Chain A
Amino acid sequence: MKVVVFGATGVVGTALLPRLASEHELVAVSRTARGDEPHVRWVEGDASSAEDVARAVEGAEVVYYLVHSLGSRDFERQDRAAAQNVADASEQAGVSQIVYLGGLGDDSPTASSHLRSRRETGERLASGATPVTTLRAAMVVGKGSAAFETIVALVDRLPAMITPSWVATPTQPIALVDIARYLAGTCGNEAMFGRSFDVGGSEVMTYRQMIERIAILRGRRPLIVEVPVLTPRLSSLWLHLVTPVGASVARPLIEGLKNPTVAREERIRSLLPFELTTFDTAASEAFAA
């Protein structure tokens, strides 16, 4: 089966490629030219270009859409345009399935611009005739994940933290290896065509608990004081100062933390059963990577 992956150089895409490469004819799309690898053919292309997208999806049966323009000034518009290109080209090429990784909590009426963009991207992808399978996940725990790296940087750099109230929001982070496994299992799976699935990790926790768990793994004991007055703007500027994550990425992420990102259903567990990785194991593997 010919499978095309947009966003192949991202954290999730990189983890997904080896799982697909062993079973499928794999085409990975990147904005910069890369040499082919065993079982992976790299194609230079930009999802914002309709021509590039049409060329990449030609003859494909399954298309993965893992693109996210977070960090760009107008990421919402860019993501909508790119998703529309992929939806149109997939319909034209007779693609059987588009697989999309969306965000848990993106259906909240008070969703942040980041989560709203995730939802709109899914809607654009589904605007064509190609069935879309959407997996909705919260934070991905793995090396290179922006949200995870932000928390690790906070733990590593700050002996004490004054945190906004969003640290009390429950979330259900998922290990990078687990989300890659779910995505790979979705490929060509007709039972999943045209459906949306919540993909939660093994544990529900608050961001504060996550900070504390990471601190234990890193051998640190930061003092955490919650205050209700820190705005997302102030928080993002602070993160910009003390972590490697820029304010343009941090702010939309932080705004998304006010709503719980917890799985409301677990239908995917019966379709793709396997034992989920614990948070501590996933975090430890990320540190070791």
Chain B
Amino acid sequence: MVGLDDDAWNSIVQPVCLYPSSPPGASMTPSRDTNSDTISFHLDSFLATRENSIPLGLCSTHDSSVHLERGADNAGYRDVMIHSWNTSERTLDSGGFESRQRALVADAVVEPSESGARWLGIAYWHTVGRLFRGAVRARWRGERPRLTLLGGVTLLSFGLPELERSDDLVSCRYAIEGGLLASRAGGSVTLGQRQLADGFELSVVVEEYLPRLAARAGAPRWTGTLYAKGQSPFHAAVSRRYFDLLVSRADA
């Protein structure tokens, strides 16, 4: 665990990322997928009022009254509020892993264009690099990212970005092609922005990923501890910072 900054640590060691406490006005229902090894938590209703908005960047969901405070270095950083976010993860019937993080914002963070979709992807890999202070970062072959440890060991490799844009959806999907943390090629990471009736949903979805560190089918659950306690929390931690980056850069 190298090179993590304090904020990153806070978002990982506190259980708020995986098990967010319920902000005022929202209800949270824990549910166990019958085919799942993992309990997933969902906020049943996103918050509708600005009063209950959660400033994602600098506070945990334990305290929804904290507001963004920007120092001199952050001049011009707009006080964007993310109304709410949630995170869930589960194991699918196929044995693949699924992790979803979503955030609700009032305004679009990207326009429905190829550039907008590409930015969703680039910002995600940039967030990973910042979270780990460059120790884990993306390297690129053309537009194919490779997540590396110290610029060398390939943790995960990805295919070309598949950009999608329509009036209500902008997304960037990368197929997982291999790497040290994947037991085999398969699955994907999709970064998206979807227009809702009264705002926009930002999402990070890891689907059908087959982690090498997870427990194998039929094996005792403890054999997956390295994944559950070591790797898995980073999905939510990265997403949380990613949403923050997107909204902070949306007001150009």
Contacts and interface: CB of A to CB of B under 8 A. Distances in A.
In which size bucket is the chain A interface? Answer: 20 to 34
A172 to B, nearest CB: 9
B73 A109 contact: yes
A107 B251 contact: yes
B70 interface: yes
B115 A263 contact: yes
B67 interface: no
A119 B76 contact: yes
B28 to A, nearest CB: 30
Contacts of A170: 122, 126, 140
B114 A266 contact: yes
Contacts of A107: 76, 249, 251-252
Contact of A204 (B76, B77, B143): B143
Contacts of B249: 107-108, 264
A168 B138 contact: yes
A200 B111 CA distance: 15
B233 interface: no
Contacts of A209: 140, 142
B97 to A, nearest CB: 27
A79 interface: no
A259 B252 CA distance: 15
B137 A165 contact: yes
Given A227-B151, A228-B135, A262 B118 contact: yes
Interface string B226-252: 000000000000000000000011011
A76 B216 CA distance: 57
A264 B140 contact: no
B134 A264 contact: no
Contact of A265 (B70, B73, B74, B115): B115
Interface in B27-73: 70, 73
Interface in B65-95: 70, 73-77
Contacts of A266: 111, 113-115
A109 B126 contact: no
A92 interface: no
Interface string A168-181: 11100000000000
Contacts of B126: 169-170, 259-260
B122 A168 contact: no
Interface string A199-213: 010001110110000
B229 to A, nearest CB: 26
A66 to B, nearest CB: 20
A264 B76 contact: no
B134 A228 contact: yes
B23 to A, nearest CB: 24
A267 B135 contact: no
Interface in B101-152: 110-111, 113-116, 118-119, 122-123, 126, 129, 134-135, 137-140, 142-143, 150-151
B151 A226 contact: yes
Contacts of B110: 264-265
A107 B119 CA distance: 14
Contact of B119 (A116, A205, A226, A264): A264
Nearest to B114: A266
29 contacts: A107-B76, A107-B249, A107-B251, A108-B248, A108-B249, A109-B70, A109-B74, A109-B77, A116-B75, A119-B76, A123-B76, A165-B137, A165-B151, A168-B138, A168-B151, A170-B126, A170-B140, A196-B252, A198-B115, A200-B115, A206-B140, A208-B139, A209-B140, A226-B139, A226-B151, A228-B135, A263-B119, A264-B110, A264-B119
Interface of A: 107-110, 116, 119, 123, 136, 165, 168-170, 196, 198, 200, 204-206, 208-209, 226-228, 259-260, 262-267
Given A264-B252, A267-B111, 12 more contacts: A109-B70, A109-B248, A165-B129, A165-B137, A170-B126, A200-B115, A205-B140, A209-B142, A226-B139, A227-B151, A265-B111, A265-B115
Q: Which 10 A-B pairs have the closest CB atoms?
A: A109-B77, A264-B119, A226-B151, A165-B134, A109-B74, A266-B115, A265-B111, A263-B115, A228-B134, A107-B252
